[in-house]
Amino acid sequence: MPDDPSFTSRRRFLQWSAVAVPALAAAGAPASGQAPSADDRPTFFSASEWAFLRAAAARLIPADALGPGALEAGVPEFIDRQMATPWAEGRLWYMQGPFVPDAPPTLGWQMRLTPRDVYRLGIAAADGWTQDRHGRVFAELDPAAQDGVLQAFESGKARFEQVPAAIFFAMLLGNVREGFFSDPVHGGNRGLAGWKLIGFPGARADFMDWVERDVAYPLPPVSLSGQRG
């Protein structure tokens, strides 16, 4: 039902996410010139890593009566493409020590690990932690158990050896949000699902005259490639 509070809370969460995600969501990885496909296969992630990423994305932004979720919108493909960018290799950050573990965000990244390292080590640790406690890897758990595991990662209750669970979760959640609202040329937001959900017009040349009107924008979103929602 449209009046269900869970629908409203999901929409508000995604609207907030669209504002909060970094500029990477708009810029994304260099466009390949190819439209994303449901048959896409990862170029960075292994089969087991890919299974974890798909399962986690499906729980972080699940499909429901409001529309497709992260999995259906191609978010795993977006994240896989990001692994080939300078960002994923840590080339956009100052990566020399000393590192201050509890430094404020204004001091930037405070680890020797690159995002590629965080994903590779974090997924292995996540599946290992889940295997120890549930007897199965994350992708094999039921949705309720997966939610509980993700909450343990987010809170830091789960302990990983090489990368803090909370840092791994924060990067994963941030990238899932970015992929859900990126331009589709970068692999995410398939079918303009994220933009349609929050009423974002996309890459239209001019919609400023509608910004201060308290009405829904009447035209569908448009991607950089010209695709329309």
Q: Render 49-80 in DSSP notation, one character per residue.
A: HHHHHHHHHHHHS--BTTB--TTTTTHHHHHH
Here the tokens at position 95 are: 């990566």
> Would you say residue 221 lies in a domain?
no
> Would you say residue 86 lies in a domain?
yes
DSSP secondary structure code for residue 139 in this structure: G
> Would you say residue 225 lies in a domain?
no
pLDDT digits (tens, 9 = 90+) for 80-121: 999 999 999 999 988 888 898 888 988 889 999 999 999 999
Look at the chain and report how many structural domains it folds into: 1
pLDDT score at 16: 55
Identify which of 10, 44, 2 has the alpha carbon closest to the alpha carbon of residue 194.
Answer: 10
pLDDT score at 220: 84
> Would you say residue 196 lies in a domain?
yes
Q: What is the mean pLDDT of the chain?
A: 84
* Structural domain harbouring 187: 21-210
Say whether pLDDT at 11 is over 70: no
Q: Which amino acid is at 135?
A: G
* Pairwise CA distance, residues 114 & 203, whole Å: 31
- 202 burial via Cβ count (<10 Å: 0-12, 13-18, 19+): buried
The DSSP bridge partners found for residue 64 are 67
> Would you say residue 1 lies in a domain?
no
Here the tokens at position 37 are: 């496909």
- Cα 46 to chain centroid distance, Å, stands at 18
Say whether pLDDT at 77 is over 90: yes
pLDDT score at 37: 46
SS3 22: coil
pLDDT digits (tens, 9 = 90+) for 157-211: 999 999 999 999 999 999 999 999 999 999 999 999 999 998 888 887 777 777 7
Q: Which positions ≥6 away from 46 have C-beta within 8 Å?
A: none
Is residue 33 very low, low, confident or very high in pLDDT (cuts 50, 70, 90)?
Answer: very low
Percent of the chain with pLDDT strictly greater than 70:
83
Per-residue pLDDT, averaged over 145-159, amounts to 96
pLDDT score at 221: 87
> Would you say residue 8 lies in a domain?
no
Question: Is 36 within 8 Å of 48 (Cβ atoms)?
Answer: no
> Would you say residue 32 lies in a domain?
yes
> Would you say residue 5 lies in a domain?
no
Alpha-helical (H) ranges within 21-134 are 24-27, 47-60, 75-82, 115-134
pLDDT score at 32: 37
